[in-house]
Amino acid sequence: MADHLHPDTLKIAIAQIAPVWLNREKTLAKIISYVQQAGEKDCQLVVFGEALLPGYPFWLERTDGARFESPRQKDFYAHYLHQAVQIEAGHLAPLCQAAAQHQIAVIVGCIERPADRGGHSVYCSLVYIDPKGDIRSVHRKLTPTYEERLAWSPGDGHGLRTHRLGAFTVGGLNCWENWMPLARAALYALGEDLHVAIWPGGLRNTRDLTRILAREGRSYVISASGLMRKSDIPADIPHAELLIANSEDVLANGGSCLAGPDGQWIIEPVVDKEQLLIATLDHKRVREERQSFDPAGHYSRPDVLKVLVDRERQSSISFTE
């Protein structure tokens, strides 16, 4: 029996790619091409990096991003808003169609400009699209990290959800959210046994934490990272010359990898190249490792410690009619 037809296995792909930076349509087309590649290889899940669509705000730390009332920073932000993803406007419809065509689940990091928050602020969101092409959850990053707070708004708990995919229960978090113990605990309690950590790109982020999370959760852990090089900065964005002059050759070096539920590498971190990484996961390995430690089951004490999660989608207005 082929691996992808075995009821205990799941064939996954990690797409480590650079965006067509700050260009939503061209980056989306590139993402779809990798969905097609993964689908042609009979993968059942393909994962992309954080903020990949249309790109991470690399300009902030390289162009005096904290300068108040800076015309330059306003230019950058206005362009970012214009290229951000508004799900309600159908911006992800082509990606959903590709997922349905290839019957593959997709996890992608995007910069979301949601109408339910007025449409002029952006959120770092992890989107899960199921193999039927339906968007099942949108998780807005709970706490943007350091300079990200100059561009991104804090999210909420609405997207702290897991999804059944074959024998597995899949959940995910954005970048440094993966350091948040209670966010992880919430996903464990929802039955997660395949954790997806998405990153803008950086070996320093993935080389240690991926294995730590796998060992703690006794789960498979995918770290999907993006890439970004000076050569990826387009000449037609605002203040491109300044950004290029202030940037190193490599802004994000990837580091995508996969660890098993015993914390050992299945795919060691890959750096400095675009690549589609493929592996077949066996759910039996999860069940074996849960024998000695199950963080939400026999090795938990809900009578002493438990997590309260507010999954209400936050909004600045409510109506009573």
Number of H helices, E strands in the chain: 7, 13
141, 148, 257, 289: which one is catalytic?
141
141 is catalytic: yes
Could you tell me the CA-to-CA distances from 316 to 10, 83, 116 in Å, in that order? Answer: 41, 24, 9
My answer on whether omega of the bond before 54 falls inside 30° of 0, hence cis, is yes
Q: Judging by DSSP bridges, how do beta strands 265-271 and 227-229 pair with one another?
A: unpaired
Q: What would the DSSP string read from start to end of 262-308?
A: TS-EEEEEEESS-EEEEEEEEHHHHHHHTTT--TTTTT--TTT----
Which listed residue (11, 175, 192, 216) is catalytic?
Answer: 175
Spatial separation of the C-alpha atoms in residues 117 and 73, rounded to whole Å: 22
Distance CA 42, CA 37 (A): 9
Catalytic annotation present for 175: yes
CB atoms within 10 A of CB 44: 23
Contacts of 294 (CB under 8 A, 6+ apart): 218, 300
- Check 11, 50, 110, 177 and give the catalytic one: 50
Closest CA to 53 of 105, 94, 13, 12: 94
> Among all residues, which ones are annotated catalytic?
50, 141, 175
